[in-house]
DNA sequence: GTGGTCTAGACCACT
DNA sequence: GTGGTCTAGACCACC
């Protein structure tokens, strides 16, 4: 994975993990790599791993068992929440931004159709 | 104007000025406030004002006449460019993001229709 | 029993056993489960069981007979000691904490009365 | 300030700051010391300061202005929340614990009266 | 000067 | 082996 040096690494990795979860590449309840392994995988410092897992835990996406490791929550509801959080953010940003620069619904949709080709 | 303290103030002000220009609230060739006035208007640090004008000038959106102040370019072409730059950024971010979290074109457009209501 | 993963499991189990003892659910002189059984009961690692018994023994609450197992002390005095140790800890923590955040005796007792309803 | 080496420094400092706020020693909206200064005051590492402010921000107790510093929230409501959070935690822990080891309301209040002398 | 991020590396407690 | 905490020190963007 290549990092965009304009946005914090930990943010990018968190996003990456969230996407892996909602795509089912990482199952609910599954063990996540140890902090050290995550550091190796993404070529980051173990401290950064630790920060990543801490944030995920705070969002209720993972939890940790002392001495055992970090695990994905088993709460199915979370899956939906994550997906919504991610898409919601994209929609809001997009729609609000387009309004701000003066585009109406119809124009936006027409342009979107073109862009998607 | 309220700032989101997570994103640089100068970025937010630049965006604000660009939007005012493409909406015609600030006309082509029109004089922009002095750095000091800009600082007062937005309640920002004068250093930040000067950074803002420096960036706007670099993008060809404004130019300065020594002793007279800073003016918006008279180049109409710029208007279109700004609009495109802003919308381009929004589209890329949106489309790329939606792909990443697994939404296809049709779903996106359907959801967008709903959101716009 | 559900564990709070923020506090060491062995601490939680030790507390649980102490409470069982002072409540008489486990009698003085009674045999405690083998390390292996304890591990099964609490769904913990056998290593953790052995740590638990080691600590209990150190506090004089249990003792081991080689080849026979671990037993609760027969010393009645211990019962009182345990109870005091536990309640002492609770009182100190509570009173000190309430002082720190600025509550006086009378307020504390009044609030306590309310909470108990 | 002396630290209890059994509980994380950042937790203790956070508590200390919260108490200073609810006691009015630090006013609402007031600037907190810079991360570096906090580190000097408490004799901790600047990284630890940074962690402390991050947590406070997450709890809505402080906010940060880039390049300017960290400030206490101006929301009066927060004051009450903090006080409640702190006292609530103490009460719950105390009452639940005393119940667990078999003390009834009257005994508890009587003992508390004695302890307070 | 101010916070934000990251690396490096250490030590500890828990399982 | 696993996470949690802390120190040390660096670099950066922002104001």
C1 pLDDT band, cuts 50/70/90, is confident
Alpha helices in A2-75 (DSSP H): 9-22, 35-42, 46-58
What is the mean pLDDT of the segment spanning D19-41?
Answer: 95
The region that residue D3 occupies, defined by phi over 0 for left and psi between -120 and 50 for alpha, beta otherwise, is beta
B abuts D (3+ Cβ pairs < 8 Å): yes
DSSP D76-89: HHHHHHHHHHHHHH
Touching check for D64 and chain B: CB below 8 Å? yes
Helices (runs of H) and strands (runs of E) counted in chain B = 5, 2
Give the count of Cβ contacts less than 8 A between chain B and D.
6
The predicted pLDDT at position A40 comes to 94
Instruction: Kindly tell me the burial class for residue A91, based on how many C-beta atoms sit within 10 Å of its own C-beta (0-12, 13-18, 19 or more).
Output: buried
What is the sign, positive or negative, of the torsion defined by CA atoms of D95, D101, D106, D110? negative
What is the mean pLDDT of the segment spanning C39-49?
Answer: 91
Residue D45 CA and nucleotide F7 C1' are separated, in Å, by 6
The predicted pLDDT at position D38 comes to 95
User: Which residue in D89, C85, B83 sits closest to A111, CA to CA?
Assistant: B83
What share of chain B in percent tops pLDDT 90?
86
**A79 to chain B: closest CA residue:** B101
D117 has a pLDDT exceeding 80:
no
Q: Quick one: tokens of A71?
A: 């695990």
DSSP classification of residue A43: T
The footprint of strand E (CB < 7 Å) covers A 8-11, 43-48, 51, 65-68; C 8-11, 44-45, 47-48, 51; D 32-37, 47, 50, 53-54, 64, 66-70
Q: Quick one: tokens of B19?
A: 């939007």
The alpha carbon of residue D71 is apart from the nearest alpha carbon of chain C, in Å, by 21
The predicted pLDDT at position B1 comes to 82
Span D71-82, pLDDT tens digits: 999 999 999 999
> Which residue is it, tokens 């059994």?
D6
A41 has a pLDDT exceeding 90:
yes
What is the mean pLDDT of the segment spanning A39-55?
Answer: 95
| Chain B residues close to D66, C-beta within 8 Å | 5, 8-9
The predicted pLDDT at position A84 comes to 93
Span A56-86, pLDDT tens digits: 999 999 999 988 999 999 999 999 999 999 9
What does the H/E/C string look like for chain C?
Answer: CCCCCCCCHHHHHHHHHHHHHHCCCCCCCCECCCHHHHHHHHCCCHHHHHHHHHHHHHCCCEEEECCCEEEECCCHHHHHHHHHHHHHHHHHHHHHHHHHCCCCHHHHHHHHHHHHC
C12 has a pLDDT exceeding 90:
yes
B51 has a pLDDT exceeding 90:
yes
- Determine whether the distance from the CB of A67 to the nearest atom of strand F is below 7 Å: yes
The predicted pLDDT at position D39 comes to 95
The predicted pLDDT at position A60 comes to 94
D1 pLDDT band, cuts 50/70/90, is confident
Q: Which of A93, A101, A113 sits opposite B83 (nearest CB)?
A: A101
C6 has a pLDDT exceeding 90:
no
The predicted pLDDT at position A108 comes to 94
Substitution target in A58, A66, A70, A71 with the highest count of C β-carbons within 10 Å is: A66
C-alpha span between A22 and A87 (Å, rounded): 12
CB distance C64 to C71 below 8 Å: yes
CB distance A74 to B85 below 8 Å: no
Nucleotides, chain E, CB distance < 7 Å: 1-10, 13-15
CB distance B102 to A23 below 8 Å: yes
A117 pLDDT band, cuts 50/70/90, is confident
What share of chain C in percent tops pLDDT 70?
100
What is the mean pLDDT of the segment spanning C10-25?
Answer: 93
| Chain A residues close to C8, C-beta within 8 Å | 66
D83 pLDDT band, cuts 50/70/90, is very high
- When the pLDDT of each residue in chain C is averaged and rounded to a whole number, the result is 91
The predicted pLDDT at position A15 comes to 96
Touching check for A79 and chain B: CB below 8 Å? no
C-alpha span between A19 and A15 (Å, rounded): 6
Touching check for C95 and chain D: CB below 8 Å? yes
The predicted pLDDT at position B67 comes to 87
Task: Return the closest nucleotide (C1') to the Cα of B48.
Answer: F15
Residue D24: partners with Cβ closer than 8 Å, 6 or more residues away:
none
C-alpha span between A37 and A27 (Å, rounded): 18
CB distance A49 to A40 below 8 Å: no
Q: Quick one: tokens of D48?
A: 């630890």
D91 has a pLDDT exceeding 90:
yes
The predicted pLDDT at position A116 comes to 82
Residue C116 CA and nucleotide E11 C1' are separated, in Å, by 44
B11 has a pLDDT exceeding 90:
yes
CB distance A12 to B97 below 8 Å: no
Q: Quick one: tokens of C101?
A: 């955040």
CB atoms within 10 A of CB B15: 15
C-alpha span between A98 and A111 (Å, rounded): 11
D66 pLDDT band, cuts 50/70/90, is confident
| Chain D residues close to B5, C-beta within 8 Å | 63-66
- Determine whether the distance from the CB of B9 to the nearest atom of strand F is below 7 Å: yes
DSSP classification of residue D17: H
Tell me the helix, strand and coil percentages in chain B, rounded to 5.
Answer: 60, 10, 30
CB distance D72 to D28 below 8 Å: yes
The predicted pLDDT at position A103 comes to 92
Find the Cα–Cα–Cα–Cα dihedral A63, A45, A33, A80, rounded to 10°.
Answer: 50
**pTM for this prediction:** 0.87
DSSP classification of residue B31: B
């Amino acid at each position: 994975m290549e990092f965009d040096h304009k946005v914090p690494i930990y943010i990018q990795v968190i996003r990456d993990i969230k996407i892996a979860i909602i795509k089912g590449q990482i199952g609910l309840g599954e063990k996540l790599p140890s902090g050290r392994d995550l550091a190796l995988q993404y070529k980051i410092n173990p401290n950064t791993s630790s920060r990543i897992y801490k944030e995920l835990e705070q969002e209720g996406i993972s939890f940790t068992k002392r001495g055992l490791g970090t695990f994905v929550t088993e709460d199915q509801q979370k899956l939906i929440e994550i997906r919504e959080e991610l898409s919601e953010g994209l929609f809001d940003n997009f729609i609000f931004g387009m309004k701000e620069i003066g585009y109406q619904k119809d124009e936006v949709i027409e342009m979107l159709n073109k862009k998607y080709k």
